[in-house]
């Protein structure tokens, strides 16, 4: 099995296993424990984590918060439909984002977003940004579209499709808090760090009571989370960078724990990408770059990346041929065993994707 072929990461998934709605009790999600050393599988529940983790494990989670990033409106003059997908605020009322329209988009392109109570917010494209990962646009708005709550939650396409198949409503304002994690603080993501959704305040308290530590970092999930791999060779795929932050106090505690030999559990691929993108080894000593800045780390089997920070990972089940299943295959260290675990999850009727069950990648 060639780890550089995108097709090597394909697997059969019955559509009925795609979870369209969240569980009412988050920590009752099922948990497939994947031992990457012994190559064994065990069926548990997320609620079992405090007892399953090695003594003194440091659990690190992403505290980003999803915001309403998808704006829909009309082009000035023609009334043609447009969509602007907010990615990041570059300065007050100036946003970088993705844009769709029925005409060529160049600087000076003008549009407006309607306000629910009447009136509208004007927007003007000020720049086109080219990169190997695709074009984005800067737009200046007459008022802050986020403060005015003009957007919609960008529900992942596969959930949207599944909800339509089941005649369920799309994600709305009342459901936004259930889509976010219970500890979400820093607004800026276009999608939730879904592995973190399994944690309730009670579960976090139980982890601490068992002697484990809880730490939080921030990675604002960007549009790259939805971008499929469209190249035959995984090495030809490009990803967008994402904004991250590790507070110095958090970084110091993580470095101390790692250098003392304690295990680091990354809650989700976003946490893993943040930690690994900032990790360094100086001789035998582990170091972590603190502060704010971009990360665009692309981890897959056969890449030059060597795991430094993350020992264990809690993650949901991912799309076939996605960069996320490639990342976990790298941590597991065996692509065939990764696919075996996924086939077992299908056979046992685990729930997949953002609202689904979880996998715990362990080393014992």
* Mean pLDDT score, 254-275: 97
- pLDDT beyond 60 at 173: no
54 and 83 co-located in one domain:
no
- pLDDT value for 238: 86
239 and 351 co-located in one domain:
yes
What distance lies between CA 164 and its chain's CA centroid?
23
Least confident stretch, 164-168, 177-181, 211-215: 164-168
Average of per-residue pLDDT values in the chain: 92
Give the range of the structural domain holding residue 296, as residue numbers without chain letter: 6-66+172-362
176 and 34 co-located in one domain:
yes
31 and 56 co-located in one domain:
yes
Helix (H) or strand (E) holding 246: strand 242-246
- pLDDT beyond 80 at 174: no
Length of the chain: 364
Q: Considering the domain boundaries, does residue 167 fall inside one?
A: no
33 and 109 co-located in one domain:
no
Q: Considering the domain boundaries, does residue 100 fall inside one?
A: yes
Tokens of 322: 């996605």
What is the Cα–Cα distance from 352 to 133, expressed in whole angstroms? 27
193 and 75 co-located in one domain:
no
37 and 79 co-located in one domain:
no
Domain-terminating residue out of 83, 118, 141 = 141
CB 203 within 8 A of CB 49: yes
CB 341 within 8 A of CB 325: no
45: CATH:
3.40.1780.10
Question: In total, how many domains does the chain have?
Answer: 2
60 and 76 co-located in one domain:
no
- pLDDT beyond 60 at 303: yes
What is the Cα–Cα distance from 302 to 335, expressed in whole angstroms? 11
pTM for the structure as a whole: 0.89
- Residues in a beta bridge with 45: 30
Greater pLDDT, 102 or 286: 286
- pLDDT beyond 70 at 41: yes
92: CATH:
2.40.10
């Amino acid at each position: 099995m060639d780890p550089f072929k995108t097709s090597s990461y394909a697997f059969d998934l019955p559509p009925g296993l795609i979870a369209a709605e969240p569980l009412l009790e988050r920590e009752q999600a099922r948990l497939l424990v994947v031992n990457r050393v012994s190559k064994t599988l065990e069926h548990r529940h997320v609620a079992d984590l405090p007892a399953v983790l090695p003594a003194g494990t440091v659990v690190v989670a992403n505290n980003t918060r999803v915001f309403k990033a998808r704006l829909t409106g009309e082009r000035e003059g023609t009334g043609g439909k447009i969509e602007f997908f907010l990615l990041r605020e570059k300065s007050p009322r100036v946003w970088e984002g993705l844009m769709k329209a029925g005409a060529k988009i160049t600087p000076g392109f003008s549009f407006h977003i309607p306000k629910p109570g009447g009136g509208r917010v004007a927007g003007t494209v000020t720049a086109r940004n080219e990169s190997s990962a695709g074009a984005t646009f800067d737009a200046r708005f007459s008022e802050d579209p986020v403060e005015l709550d003009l957007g919609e939650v960008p529900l992942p396409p596969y959930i949207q499709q599944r909800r339509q198949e089941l005649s369920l409503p799309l994600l709305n304002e009342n459901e936004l808090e259930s889509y976010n994690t219970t500890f979400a603080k820093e607004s800026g993501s276009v999608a939730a760090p879904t592995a973190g959704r399994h944690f309730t305040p009670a579960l976090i308290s139980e982890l601490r009571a068992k002697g484990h530590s809880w730490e939080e970092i921030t990675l604002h999930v960007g549009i790259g989370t939805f971008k499929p791999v469209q190249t035959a060779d995984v090495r030809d795929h490009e990803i967008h960078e994402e904004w991250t932050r590790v507070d110095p106090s958090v970084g110091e505690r993580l470095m101390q724990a790692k250098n003392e030999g304690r295990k680091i559990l990354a809650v989700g691929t976003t946490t893993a990408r943040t930690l690994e993108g900032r990790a360094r080894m100086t001789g035998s000593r582990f170091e972590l770059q603190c502060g704010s800045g971009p990360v665009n780390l692309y981890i897959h089997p056969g890449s030059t990346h060597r795991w430094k920070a993350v020992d264990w990972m809690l993650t949901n089940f991912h799309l076939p041929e996605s960069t996320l299943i490639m990342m976990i295959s790298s941590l597991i260290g065996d692509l065939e065993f990764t696919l075996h675990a996924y086939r077992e999850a299908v056979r046992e009727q685990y729930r997949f994707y953002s609202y689904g069950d979880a996998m715990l990648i362990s080393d014992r």
